[in-house]
């Protein structure tokens, strides 16, 4: 059975979804850069080892990443899953775990990489927004895409209401992506593109606003 380490910084919404899904893998540890991250308590309730590596204890990003990598390596994970981990990782760290580091981002990448995705989507007047699970590469939020989910943007949406709808889909697709990875149904080919061993796209179309 595959082993994963989950990295968090906050309340642990996606962590909760992953742990509740009874995935075919072993979560060997949940690690946070913040000691007061709510997700640590969720992990403890599931009987999972928790660790804290505070970025504030290190002079720079590289030294923090070195300490984090040392801790991660002690668990020998097959995948490192970022679930609301609010640190930009150095290229050295990312390259060390290339093909093993997974992230979820609240937009339909490559659109709206970075922060404040929902505000930016509303400002631009897009009609479809969503979320993306992808492999992490040194190019921020531009790694190979595993799965995406889209939601319609409503006329009366605020960043908060749009974020809530997107978050619900994050829970769905992140658990699916990790299930695929842990059962070998998703791999990277020699060209760095995602390959599915069984999954087929059903051709469904989302149009927003609806056609009359």
Q: pLDDT tens, 129-142?
A: 999 999 999 999 99
Q: Single out the catalytic residue among 46, 55, 105, 142.
A: 105
Instruction: Output phi, psi for 168, to 5 deg.
Output: -60, -40
The stretches of 46-85 forming alpha helices (DSSP H) are 61-73
pLDDT bracket for residue 208 (50, 70, 90): confident
User: Is this model's pTM higher than 0.85 or not?
Assistant: yes
pLDDT in the model for residue 42: 97
**Token digits for 194?**
């995602």
Sign of torsion, CA 148 101 9 178? Answer: positive
Domains of the chain: 2-196 (3.40.50.170)
| Nearest C-alpha neighbor of 130 from the set 159, 101, 163 | 163
Reduce the DSSP state of residue 19 to 3 states and report it.
helix
pLDDT, tens digit (0-9, with 9 covering 90-100), for 145-190: 999 999 999 999 999 999 999 999 999 999 999 999 999 999 998 8
| Nearest C-alpha neighbor of 112 from the set 64, 166, 43, 69 | 166
Q: Which residues, in sequence order, are CB contacts of 37 under 8 Å at separation 6+?
A: 8, 9, 10, 11, 12
Q: Is 105 a known active-site residue?
A: yes
């Amino acid at each position: 059975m595959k082993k994963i380490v989950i990295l968090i910084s906050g309340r642990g919404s996606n962590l909760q979804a992953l742990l509740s899904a009874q995935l075919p893998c072993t979560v060997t540890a949940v690690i946070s850069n913040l000691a007061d991250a709510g997700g640590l308590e969720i992990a403890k309730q599931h009987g999972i080892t928790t660790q804290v590596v505070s970025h504030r204890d290190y002079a720079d990003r590289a030294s923090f990443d070195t300490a984090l990598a040392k801790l991660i390596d002690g668990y020998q994970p097959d995948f490192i899953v970022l679930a609301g981990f609010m640190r930009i990782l150095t290229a050295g760290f990312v390259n060390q775990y290339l093909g093993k580091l997974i992230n979820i981002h609240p937009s339909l990448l490559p659109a709206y990489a970075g922060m404040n995705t929902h505000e930016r989507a509303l400002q631009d007047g897009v009609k479809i927004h969503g979320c993306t699970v992808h492999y992490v590469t040194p190019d921020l939020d531009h790694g190979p895409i595993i799965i995406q989910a889209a939601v319609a943007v409503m006329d009366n949406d605020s960043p908060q209401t749009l974020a809530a709808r997107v978050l619900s889909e994050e829970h769905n697709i992140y658990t699916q992506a990790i299930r695929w990875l842990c059962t070998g149904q998703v791999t990277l080919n020699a060209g760095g593109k995602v390959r599915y061993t069984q999954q087929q796209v059903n051709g469904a179309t989302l149009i927003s606003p609806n056609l009359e």
